[in-house]
């Protein structure tokens, strides 16, 4: 646990030193979400209808934007090799790194979403459902996306290939996240969608770190 805490702390310190990279993804999220009310117009019913999809898609793209840098610097400066040879299982090291990635790139999106939801005239109840769906769903985006980041590590044009690999896997999370808000807006229970998101999180948390570890070993070879 001490090693895992040290890895999380290291990644958070590196993210603080590279604040511009972190701010780029957040600014992208804010700009994309803010453009839709300006382009569509001030019709409240239409804005409330499209709000879950717009915010979720923007969060998905912002999360994917930051994935390419997850292992790139370690691969470039050679610090990836000691991680592969460390006594601590690589799957646990990767899990700590993905947690740090979510704290830097995923959690700020969740924190910003209530403010951005005001542009779409969402009421407090629907905003709460949206925030909870993002809170459960964005870690899945980080876990699944990290597999693609590890597979495309060191490849030329890896960003395009990463998008092709990851986007189809994001579809169930996107459908469940937006479906929770739509169900709440229709007066139905959002619990089934939250359970789907929770199940996806458990599955990703159990299997993704080891898949990422295997992908990193393949890329290192």
Digitized pLDDT (tens) for each residue of the chain, 221 residues in all? 777 787 788 878 877 877 777 888 889 999 999 998 888 877 888 888 899 999 999 999 998 888 877 777 666 666 666 777 776 778 888 888 888 889 888 899 999 999 999 999 888 999 999 999 999 999 999 999 888 888 887 676 666 778 888 888 999 999 999 999 999 999 899 999 999 999 999 999 999 988 888 888 887 66
Nearest-5° Cα angle at 202, 199 to 208: 125
- List Cβ neighbours of 152 (8 Å cut-off, separation of 6 or more): 68, 158, 159, 161, 162, 165, 219
Which among 145, 132, 143 has a CA at the least distance from the CA of 205?
143
Which among 89, 79, 32 has a CA at the least distance from the CA of 55?
32
| Calpha distance 209→216 (Å, rounded) | 10
Class of residue 198 by CB neighbours under 10 A (exposed 0-12, middle 13-18, buried 19+): middle
Whether residue 150 contacts residue 162, with contact meaning beta carbons closer than 8 Å, is answered with no
- How many structural domains are present in the chain? 1
Q: Residue 111 belongs to what domain range?
A: 2-220
């Amino acid at each position: 646990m001490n090693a895992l805490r040290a890895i999380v702390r290291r990644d958070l310190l590196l993210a603080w030193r590279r604040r511009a990279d972190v701010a780029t993804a957040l600014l992208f999220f804010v700009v994309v979400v803010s453009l839709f009310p300006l382009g569509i117009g001030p019709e409240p019913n239409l804005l409330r209808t499209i709000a879950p999809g717009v915010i979720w898609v923007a969060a998905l793209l912002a999360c994917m934007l930051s994935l390419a840098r997850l292992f790139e610097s370690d691969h470039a400066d050679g610090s990836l090799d000691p991680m592969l040879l460390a006594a601590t299982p690589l799957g646990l090291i990767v899990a700590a790194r993905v947690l740090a990635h979510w704290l830097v790139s995923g959690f700020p999106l969740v924190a910003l979403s209530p403010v951005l939801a005001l542009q779409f005239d969402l009421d407090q109840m629907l905003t709460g459902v949206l925030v909870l769906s993002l809170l459960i769903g964005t870690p899945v985006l980080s876990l699944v996306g990290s597999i693609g980041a590890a597979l495309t590590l060191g490849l030329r044009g890896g960003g395009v290939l990463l998008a092709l690999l990851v986007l189809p896997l994001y579809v169930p999370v996107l459908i469940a996240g937006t479906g929770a808000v739509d169900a709440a807006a229709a007066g139905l229970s959002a619990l089934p969608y939250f359970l789907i998101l929770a199940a996806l999180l458990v599955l990703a948390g159990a299997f993704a770190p080891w898949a990422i570890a295997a992908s990193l070993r393949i890329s290192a070879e």
